[in-house]
Amino acid sequence: EAPASVPLAAVELCSKKPPKGTFIQKADAAQEIGLMVRDLRAVDPSFRSQAAAILPRQSGIIIHLAHVRVIVLADRVLAFDPTNPAVEYFLPKLQRRLDAPSHPMPFEFRAIEAVLVEVVSTFNARIGTLIPSLDLVLDTLSTTQDFGGDTVQNCMDRLLPLENALNEFGAKVAQTRAALNEVLVSDEDMSLMYISTFKETGIRRRIDQHDEVEMMLENYMKQIDTVHSEVTSALQAVKATENATQIRLDAMRNRVLRLDIFLNLGAVSVGVGGLVAGVFGMNLLSGIEEDPAAFWIVSGISFLTSIMFFRGILAFLRMRRIFY
Residues numbered 125 to 164 that lie near a second copy (CB under 8 A) are 142-143, 145-149, 152-153, 156-157, 159-160, 163-164
Identify the CA nearest to 314 among candidates 271, 250, 268, 254: 268
Residue 207 C-beta: closest distance to a second copy, Å: 11
251 is a site residue for a second copy (CB under 8 A): yes
Using the rule CB under 8 A, which residue among 247, 304, 307, 315 binds a second copy? 247
- Interaction residues for a second copy, span 296-315 (CB under 8 A): 298-299, 302-303, 306
The size of the interface with a second copy (CB under 8 A), counted in residues, is: 107
Residue 15 C-beta: closest distance to a second copy, Å: 19
Using the rule CB under 8 A, which residue among 28, 32, 200, 260 binds a second copy? 260
Give the long-range contacts of residues 133-140, CB within 8 A, separation 24 or more.
Answer: 133/158, 133/162, 134/159, 134/162, 134/166, 134/234, 134/237, 134/238, 137/162, 138/237, 138/238, 138/241
Of 15-23, 77-85, 197-205, 253-261, the window that binds a second copy (rule: CB under 8 A) is 253-261
Mapped onto helix, strand or coil, the DSSP state of residue 80 is strand
Furthest CA-CA distance within the chain: 128
Residue 297 C-beta: closest distance to a second copy, Å: 9
Question: ∠ CA(147), CA(149), CA(153), 5° rounding?
Answer: 85
Of 39-47, 68-76, 77-85, 196-204, the window that binds a second copy (rule: CB under 8 A) is 39-47
Nearer to a second copy, 203 or 285 (CB): 285
- Interaction residues for a second copy, span 261-300 (CB under 8 A): 261, 263-268, 270-275, 277-292, 294-295, 298-299
Of 12-20, 67-75, 76-84, 226-234, the window that binds a second copy (rule: CB under 8 A) is 226-234
Whole-angstrom Cα distance, residue 211 to residue 105?
12
Say if residues 69 and 84 touch (Cβ distance below 8 Å): no
Cα distances (angstroms) measured from residue 29 to each of 10, 26, 172, 256: 11, 5, 28, 71
Using the rule CB under 8 A, which residue among 44, 81, 108, 230 binds a second copy? 230
In this structure, the strands spanning 68-73 and 76-80 are antiparallel
Of 8-16, 65-73, 197-205, 214-222, the window that binds a second copy (rule: CB under 8 A) is 214-222
22 is a site residue for a second copy (CB under 8 A): no
**Burial code of 125-161, b = ≥16 C-beta within 10 A, e = fewer?**
ebbeebbeebeebbebbeebeebeeeebeebeeebee
243 is a site residue for a second copy (CB under 8 A): yes
Strand residue runs (E) in the chain:
8-14, 20-24, 53-56, 60-65, 68-73, 76-80
185 is a site residue for a second copy (CB under 8 A): no
- Interaction residues for a second copy, span 50-109 (CB under 8 A): 50-51, 53, 55, 57
